[in-house]
């Protein structure tokens, strides 16, 4: 169990792997979806799948906010960024996400648009304060983890009376795509490893419909390999004992009620979009946030003409099937050949938390490096 040595507590990891082995029913198969891209990264980085019994398959979910932005929205962002005299600010993760014909913000910058990377939406607001004669737009992406930061930034902009700042809002919410996946006919999941940091904001209660309406257990989990192993053990234990509940493995960070203050300001600043397109998943009702009426002057979509053209994903790209867990990254036709982290066709290859990039960087090596029967190795 060579990779276990990298874990926070190798002995605990060995115990967990043995417990998982003992909980698995040899005659059945288990498919668990890890919703969050951070988990996907951990799973590949630490070779978690190779530690698990063959009966358990991990399916990678849609929880990478960069990966789910559709090409049309990237085109819209580039269109806004190329307005004369405008400063367009964005997280670094979005710079190489391809729009139509492979265009991206990095290429727009190279063509002369004033595109700048920021670490925080507050840094984008600071640019607007520093350069009052220029229009500044912030490209907001992210789940409920990130949206409160944009909300606080807008509250501050409003309080300061800033007039040259606006937000191109692409914040998305985690529950509607989960529901869409549960409604998908081609999936037979046995349970979910729930997202950790999103849950610091929304808590565990919004997931209750998963066991109640769909009969699947969900365990909110942290990002370290031990967290992921323990959440799998908790899912198996529920199945073994005939329970079906929302459980919290990440109690050191996540509270059942989440962060009520953060939820309150989300409600104050944003409203739900009637529908929003997700890359590879199509339009999902009420799955994204838009800037509310009270903050309309900060809404880049009202301030600038945004083409809003829907662009179909490249035919060769199977990001949608990867995001829904229907195929594995390496089963995509262009994986590792036409589509690599250096020259991504699909978003799953762009972000380090995308399933394809994670597998490209780590998974291939692990598959070759790990012996078949890890539990047979000596215990330290």
Instruction: Return the residue of 132, 134, 205, 264 that touches another protein, per CB under 8 A.
Output: 264
- Report the residue number, 120 or 271, with the smaller CB distance to another protein: 120
Per-residue x/- track, 47-66, another protein (CB under 8 A):
-----------------xxx
- Which residues in the 130-149 window bind another protein by CB under 8 A? 142, 145-146, 148-149
Sheet arrangement for strand 56-63: 56-63, 30-36, 191-194, 218-220, 246-248
Told to check if 256 binds another protein by CB under 8 A, we report: no
Closest CB to another protein among 104 and 173?
A: 104
- DSSP labels for 146-197? THHHHHHHHHHHHHHT-SSEEEEEEEB-SHHHHHHHHH-TT----EEEE-SH
Burial class (CB in 10 A: 0-12, 13-18, 19+), 182: middle
SS3 15: helix
Least distance between another protein and beta carbon 149 (Å)? 5
Q: How far apart are CA 35 and CA 62, in angstroms?
A: 6
Question: Applying CB under 8 A, does 158 fall inside the site for another protein?
Answer: no
Residues 234-253 that bind another protein (CB under 8 A): 252-253
Please give the Cα distance from 36 to 194 (Å, whole number): 7
CB 57 to another protein: min, Å: 24
Residues in 183-242 that interact with another protein by CB under 8 A: 197, 200-201, 223-224
What is the total count of residues that contact another protein (CB under 8 A)?
Answer: 73
Nearer to another protein, 66 or 239 (CB): 66
Q: What's the closest the beta carbon of residue 300 comes to another protein, in angstroms?
A: 17
Task: Determine if 43 is a binding residue for another protein (CB under 8 A).
Answer: no
One of 345, 350, 355, 356 touching another protein (CB under 8 A): 345
Which of 41, 60, 73, 324 binds another protein (CB under 8 A)? It is 41
Burial category of 380 from C-beta neighbours within 10 Å (exposed 0-12, middle 13-18, buried 19 and up): exposed
Please, which of residues 275-294 interact with another protein by CB under 8 A?
none
Within positions 70 to 89, which residues make up the interface with another protein, using CB under 8 A?
A: 89
Q: Is 12 in the site for another protein (CB under 8 A)?
A: no
Which residue number, 52 or 345, has a Cβ lying nearer to another protein?
345
CB nearer to another protein: give 142 or 211: 142
DSSP single-letter state for residue 110:
H
33, 207 contact by CB (below 8 A) = no
Please identify which residue in 11, 110, 312, 365 interacts with another protein, judged by CB under 8 A. 110
Q: Give the tokens for residue 221.
A: 């989990």
How far is residue 29's CA from residue 69's CA, in Å, rounded to a whole number?
Answer: 32
Q: Note the helical H segments in the chain.
A: 10-23, 37-45, 48-51, 71-81, 105-111, 121-130, 147-160, 175-183, 197-202, 209-214, 225-241, 260-269, 300-303, 319-323, 355-358, 364-369
HSE-up of 140 (CA within 13 Å, CB side)?
Answer: 34
Region from 22-30, 108-116, 165-173, 323-331 binding another protein, contact rule CB under 8 A: 108-116
Rg for the chain (alpha carbons), in Å? Answer: 21
CB under 8 A: which stretch of 18-26, 33-41, 48-56, 274-282 binds another protein? 33-41
């Amino acid at each position: 169990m060579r990779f276990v040595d990298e874990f926070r507590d190798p002995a605990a990891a060995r115990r967990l792997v043995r417990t998982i082995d003992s909980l698995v029913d040899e005659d059945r198969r288990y498919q668990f979806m890890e919703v969050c891209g951070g988990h996907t990264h951990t799973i590949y980085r630490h070779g978690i799948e190779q530690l698990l019994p063959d009966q358990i398959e991990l399916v990678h979910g849609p929880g990478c906010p960069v990966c789910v932005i559709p090409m049309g929205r990237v085109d819209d962002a580039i269109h806004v960024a190329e307005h004369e005299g405008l400063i367009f600010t964005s997280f670094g993760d979005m710079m190489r996400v391809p729009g139509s014909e492979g265009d991206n913000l990095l290429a727009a910058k190279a063509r002369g648009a004033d595109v700048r990377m920021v670490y925080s939406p507050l840094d984008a607001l600071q640019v607007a304060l520093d350069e009052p004669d220029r229009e500044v737009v912030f490209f907001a992406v992210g789940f409920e983890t990130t949206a409160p930061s944009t909300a606080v930034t807008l509250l501050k902009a409003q309080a300061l009376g800033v007039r040259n700042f606006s937000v191109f809002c692409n914040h998305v919410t985690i529950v509607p795509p989960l529901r869409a996946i549960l409604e998908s006919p081609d999936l037979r999941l046995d349970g979910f490893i729930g997202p950790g940091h999103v849950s610091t904001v929304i808590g565990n209660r919004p997931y209750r419909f998963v066991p109640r309406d769909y009969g699947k257990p969900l365990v909110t989990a942290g990002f370290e390999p031990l967290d992921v192993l323990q959440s799998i053990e908790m899912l198996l234990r529920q199945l073994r004992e005939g329970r079906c509940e929302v459980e919290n493995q990440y109690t050191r960070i996540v509270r059942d009620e989440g962060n009520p203050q953060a939820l309150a300001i989300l409600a104050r600043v944003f409203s739900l979009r009637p529908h929003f397109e997700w890359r590879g998943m199509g339009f999902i009702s009420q799955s994204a946030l838009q800037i509310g009426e009270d903050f309309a002057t900060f809404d880049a979509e009202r301030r600038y003409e945004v083409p809003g053209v829907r662009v179909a994903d490249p035919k060769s790209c199977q990001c949608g099937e990867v995001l829904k867990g229907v195929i594995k990254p390496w089963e995509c036709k262009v994986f590792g050949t036409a589509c690599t982290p250096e020259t991504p066709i699909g978003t799953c290859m762009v972000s380090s938390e995308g399933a394809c990039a994670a597998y490209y960087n780590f998974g291939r090596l692990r598959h070759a490096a790990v012996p078949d029967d890890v539990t047979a190795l000596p215990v330290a």
